[in-house]
Chains A and B, each alone.
Chain A
Amino acid sequence: MASIPVLHTSSEFREEFFDRGGENAARCYQCATCSSVCELAPANAPFPRRQILWAQWGLEDRLVSDAGPWLCYQCNDCSVRCPREVNPGDVMASIRAMVVEKLATPAFLGKLVGNVKKTWPLLVLGPLVYWLILLGATGIHIPGIDPELGALDGRFHYEHFVPHILIYFTYFAATFFALFTMWSSGRRFWKMLGTSQARTGSFFGALIGAFFDIATHKKFRSCDRGVFKRKWGHFLVMWGFVGAAITSGFAVVYLYRETVFFSWLNLQYSYPMPITHWVKWLGNISAVALVVGGLLLWLNRRNPGDKLVGVTTPFDRFFLWVVLTVIATGVLTELFRFIAAPPVLACAVYVIHLAIVLTLFLTLPYSKFAHILYRTLAMTHERLTAENG
């Protein structure tokens, strides 16, 4: 006897979802125009019509275990054509935000960041307070002001203000925390995806394919009518972050070139590296990419009435502002070093930079940044299910 499927509906999920920008889902009458005009929806697992139905019913289990929301790049073709002004592109964005929260490890941090409309002061000020306390406890030494450090010799050493050891301690811990929680959430997500659709093929092969798509922004290309700035904004910010990460990695390597870990590399140059060094070039080009990309992303959100742009929720806004603040304070920190800015100002901006980067790291698994994880997995999953019905 065929079993009758049981639907686990959740009115709480529904309410919460409607509250987080998904309220237009209630208007949907399931015509499927959205799925039929979508350039990215896989033929065997179309979106966004089904996901909107699930959201209407509060079928949390299905939404959380579905790749669809993560294969959507929100080009908003569907929102333009939707006959009921459901704005499916925005609905999918709200679903993603809910999924990030529901898959969070530990759960309460997901709620904390998910509820960013109310909790953002804590998320922003917490890391700042952390740094102020840490610096207060270890002693505040501002170069050029603190007599112990002597007069500035034409070079501004941020290290005198914040010793590297504090940075390692803080960010290695934050990175491991983010990696661990993302690994845990990612594993759950991957398992759930597997239960919703059977997979065949090599995981790593598919993962490499997904990386290639991400690196080239291939999917953005087939999904980029109207809002030109989105693709390039994202492309530049993504590669800017990658470049910044590589720069940071090499900076650490150069810093410890004489230790047992890196001495075999036989690296030259003393620290700090000259501005003409390739690591500096990489860092500065990345900074330019981040500034230009960040500006484009910000400009793109300037037209809130446009259906192609979509709605900006507090979840989006928080992420965008954290990223923009990281970029702005990072660039200023470097700049202040060269233009002999007032030491107090340079140090203040530096602390803000350290704090907002910490916010970014700690909220990474729970903010919109988590799309790095879920999208990559969903795109890998899609490659392994393309042939399966």
Chain B
Amino acid sequence: MSLLRPQRSALPGFGLSLGITVAYLSLIVLLPLSAVFVKAAGFSPVEFWQAVTSPRVLASYRLTFGASFLAALANVPAGVILAWVLIRYDFPGRRIVDALVDLPFALPTAVAGIALTAIYAKNGWLGQWLEPAGFKVAYTWIGVWVALTFVGLPFVVRTVQPVLEELEPELEEAAATLGATRGQTFWRVMFPALRPAIITGFALAFARAVGEYGSVVFISGNMPLKTEITPLLIITKLEQYDYRGATALAVVLLVGSFTLLLLIQLFQRRTRGARA
């Protein structure tokens, strides 16, 4: 506990608040999650390795991590443009658009999945136009990507918005005075300032997408080796009472996500420290 002693603050309540935090965190998050590790520990290292690297599992990682990556990636330009438009421009319905951005946080994922499938299936609102054009969305990895993009959409917008807002207009003006075009000003002056926020938003969207299940199973088609996501394999293993196999996969997802979150935290502390 001595490591946790506060270094600068005369405020009271550190022990109490940190106590509550750590106790509640342990009870609700750490203790339950440790069950996953304990269960997976029933494997020998070799068995564990085999369980998490079988061809079907590897294919599911490719889809899960790949589609999550592409979804988070798509959310970067979309999120930056959205943030830009919401902050810099005024247009009818701006407030509504701004409110809608949070919808994926609030809409139950199963509902999102059913709705997206209904829209992109070949007799759906959009599917009926896309599919004759040779563009299949539902029941392909593109459908998975659409669902994950939906789920991760708010993250980049909401992390970029405040930074964009705080950018000093003087910088842009100075750049313009020195003869830079708008494009140069954006890429050379503004983008570097936005970069940390973009990375944070990207990482949060990515981490969220990796674990997503409810919205994806409806639209993915669940074909082994093709459109099967890792969380679905966890369920499949549970069906066969293979609790250890299921938890082994869960551990892989968990460690991946946690590493990512920790890296962002450390990255941000460093950049904040550099700025201060």
Indicate, yes or no, whether A interacts with B: no
The residues of A with any CB-CB pair to B shorter than 8 Å are none
The residues of B with any CB-CB pair to A shorter than 8 Å are none
